[in-house]
Structures are given as C-alpha cells and as structure tokens.
Amino acid sequence: MTLQQLESYLWGAAVLLRGQIDASGYKEYIFPLMFFKRVSDVYDEQYNRYLEESDGDEDYARSQEYDIIVPEGAHWNDVRKVTENVGQALVDAFRQIEEANPPKEINGRTVGGLTGIFGDKSGWTNKNKMPDRIILSLIEHFSTQTLSLENCPADEMGLGYEYLIGQFANDAGHTAQEFYTNRTVVTLMAEILQPKPDESIYDPTCGSGGMLIKSLTYLKDHGKEWRGVQVYGQEVNNLTAAIARMNLYLHGIVDFSIANADTLKDPAFTRGDRLQQFDVVLANPPYSIKNWDRAAFQHDAYGRNILGTPPQSKADYAFIQHIIASMNQHHGRCAILLPHGVLNRLIERDLRKKLLEIDVVEAVISVGKNLFFNSPMEACILICRNNKSIERHGKILMIKATDLVERKNTESYLTEDHIRLISDIYTNYKEVEYRSVIVDVSTIDPKTYSISPKLYVKSQSQETEDADDLFAVWDDMTDSLHKDIDSLTKLFS
C-alpha cells in the first residue's frame, strides 16, 4: 500500500463510527482493532515463511519463535467468523493474545509485552454503545487490506498510525491534549537534544509515545543505530498508555518500558529511594493542572522538590523538578514544552530563582501561538543540562522564535526551515540579531527572575510586546484572588 492508501484505509474505519459514538471515543475502538489486525497478519506472514522453509511442516512452523504469538482460536479470522456477540469474541481474543505475550524481565527492567495493551475492554460488550452490526462493519472494513510487513513495512505503518492520532486529535478537539503533541515541535526538540545510540530516553508524560518515537527516528534519519536504545515512558491515562505501546510496536520498536501511573504521585522508574536517571528526557507535561497532591510533593519521598513546592493552581514546576531529578548527573539533558507563563509568572518567582542558582538552564526558546494542540497560548521550550560546558556556566541562550509559525487551515506548525534555523542557533550557541542573545544569569532582574526571551532579544519592530505577557499577569491576579477567597472562606466558616 502507498501511504495515502493506508491513511484512507485507516480513516475509513473511523468514518463507520460517526453518529454511533462521540469522536473523542474513536481511539478506544479503532486502535485496538487495527493492532489486532496487524499482529494477526504479521503472524500469518511469519507462519507462511516457516512453512516454506520446512516444505510445509506445520508442526515445525508452529514451534518457531514469533514476534507476537497469536494463540489458536484468537486470530483475526477466528473472530471474523463470529456473527453474534462479536464484542465478547473480540474481548476473548484480546485477552488470549495479552496472556500469550507477557513482558520480559531484563536486568531488573520490565520490557515490552502485551499485558493490558488492548485497554479497557468493557466497551466492546456494551451492545447499546457498540452493537454487533457496527463491530462487524469495522471488521469487514479492516479485512479489505493485509497489514503484513511486506505489504505495510513498520516505518509506513508507524506513519499511518501517527496520521490517525493526528486525525483523532483534530476530530476530538480539546480532549486531544492528553495524547497529542505537535509533531513539528517534537522534531525540533529531538534535533536539539541529539540522542546517541547508547543512551536511554525517557518521557514522564508520554501520551501516545510520539516523543520517544521521534527520538529514535532522529537516529534513523542520521544513519545511526537505534535498535539498542532503551526508551521509557509513563502515562497516567490507561488507554493513552496502551496507545503508546501499540505505537511503539507498530514502529518496529520492542525495547521499551511504558508504565501506567501518575508521575507526580507514583513515579514508576526508581532505584531504591531515588529516581532512576536517564541520558535524554523529553516531555510535554499537562499544563498548569490544579488537581494534584501538593502536600505530598512538599514532603516528597524522592527529594524532587529541589526548587521548592509549586502553587496548588499550577503544577508546571513540579513536572520540571521531576524531570531535572531524572536527568543523568553527568551528562543528562532535557527539553520540556511548557506554557510561556512559567518563564515570568510572579507566583513562581522563588522557584525560578533557585532554578537559576543550580545553573542547569542552558537555553529558553519562545515558540509561537497555537503550537499547543487546540490552544491559542504561546509555548516555550526549556532546555536543561547537567554539567554545562565551562563557557556556558552562568549563561542562558535566549531564542525568540514566536514569529516562526506556519498555519494551514486550522493547523499551526514549524517548517523544516524553522526547525533548521532554531536548532542551528542552539547547536552553535550563537547570538543572531533580533533572534537570539546570550544572557548572563547575574544580570537577570531579581524582582521577577523572568527568563522570557522577549525581555532580552531586541524586536525588529518598535511596537511593545507587553501585551504578549498579559496571560502571565492574569494568572498572577487570579491566583491572588483565589488565595483571598480561600482566606475569607476559612475566616467565616
């Protein structure tokens, strides 16, 4: 199949669900079904190869090793024969495949495996929500193509899967934020961090796994070995964590560890009473969440609150501190996509002060509006590194790239030229008029400790950019108001 044919084929399945369920629920059904079809077709492909090399010896073919085992009776073709209670037949097949492919324990690390990969299965047996006729139509649609490796190689299948993720994000609106990060921004982050073949890569809020995959794609694109790279991810949403694991498998990646848990409350990758540390960390944490356990973080058992405890209304600096604590002490580095307000909100002034004191911030990049999915706010990329080079001690490279945004229809993105320009400035750590400047930390105003590039990089226009920081001012005002209301409530209760 061509990529265009694959995309049309995958999206055609989603079209069959229109009017039956809300668009935000498409991923709950399409991804597991597509993955089931893929593993069945790849199993057949390998089985037929073993038959050929053994002159038709079925016992020999069944006894060989498979990438993914499909037990007898749990194949796509077995379910396709069922005409009643089809949802239950699917659930039974899903469970058998999960049980037949447990994760492996390698050097104390849980790697791969299909346990729970098909997600919550209760929706399949709810006939009001998913009647047999709808499931049968989906099965027949997917049966029109063969998703073998020969017909659909891993790279192409991965691209098709990423396309589907993007389409679901567009169709589902704001609900997409839980699993989708603008892929051009992810490409920029990978270009900046430049992962190496022997390094570990970690995303503490991994969503659908796009950042982990893009890091390995970076290695592939540069002709470097990628198969031995260990990737780790954690995701709080069960379905999204399952989608990430499917995504990695469909991209041909098997050496991964994906955990389903709350990163702030229950970090999954630890060594005793310390966090496990990684060479490269990429993340797009959920921005400015209010519902998190601040009290627990204040007395964090893993010592992550190295800068202090963030305000209840904004957990951004809790994620920042978790990431810094997860960086390899000798050469760890990170790129974090964050709301621009983290650079100058007064409520987080003291946290920024300590962040500057530990001297891990290597660069700050202001990127344009609408690059957070379905959000008009401006974003920034915070680049941190342990053991900065001597010439970068006490300095931060400020890059203003707010104007480097292309927009097509409703989508905002960075072009290849934008990515090349920004990554070149960072790699060469250079000043470019109206674009970047190197700031000595000792010169930063102690009244705010603002690290917004817009304060330091001269504008080509004489117009003031104060209006761009109104979000930060508004955040501070509303936080103060909430504190006053809380105080008054306690006073009169």
Q: What is the mean pLDDT of each run of 10 residues along the chain (493 residues)?
A: 90 90 86 94 95 92 91 96 96 97 88 91 92 96 94 87 78 50 90 95 93 93 90 92 90 91 96 94 92 95 96 97 97 95 96 98 92 73 96 97 84 90 97 97 96 92 50 55 54 54
Query: Which candidate, 63, 23, 27, places its Cα nearest to that of 46?
Result: 63
Q: 3-state class of 468 per DSSP? A: helix
Sheet (strand 333-339) strand order = 256-260, 230-235, 200-203, 280-283, 333-339, 378-385, 361-369, 395-401, 436-440
| pLDDT value for 13 | 92
Which residue type, as a one-letter code, is found at position 252?
G
Exposed e or buried b per residue across 383-413, where buried means at least 16 C-beta atoms within 10 angstroms of its C-beta: bbbbebeeeeeebbbbbbbbebbeeeeeebb
The pTM assigned to this predicted structure is: 0.87
User: What span, in angstroms and rounded, lies between the C-alpha atoms of 435 and 459?
Assistant: 8
- Domains of the chain with CATH codes: 3-152 (1.20.1260.30), 183-474 (3.40.50.150)
- Is 123 buried (19+), middle (13-18) or exposed (0-12) by CB count in 10 A? middle
Tokens of 310: 């963030």
* Residue 132 and residue 124 in contact, taking contact as beta carbons nearer than 8 Å: no
Query: Which candidate, 434, 287, 258, 432, places its Cα nearest to that of 374?
Result: 287
| pLDDT value for 464 | 43
Sign for the CA dihedral angle at 191, 194, 196, 200 comes to: negative
Residue with tokens 């002034």: 349
Give backbone dihedrals phi and psi of 432, rounded to 5 degrees, phi first: -130, 130
| pLDDT value for 470 | 54
Sign for the CA dihedral angle at 187, 190, 191, 195 comes to: negative
* Residue 358 and residue 396 in contact, taking contact as beta carbons nearer than 8 Å: no
DSSP E strands, 326-421 = 333-339, 361-369, 378-385, 395-401, 406-408, 411-413
| pLDDT value for 93 | 97
> 414: number of CA atoms within 13 Å, CB side?
27
| pLDDT value for 75 | 97
* Residue 441 and residue 394 in contact, taking contact as beta carbons nearer than 8 Å: yes
User: What span, in angstroms and rounded, lies between the C-alpha atoms of 31 and 304?
Assistant: 35
Q: 3-state class of 45 per DSSP? A: helix
Tokens of 9: 């084929």
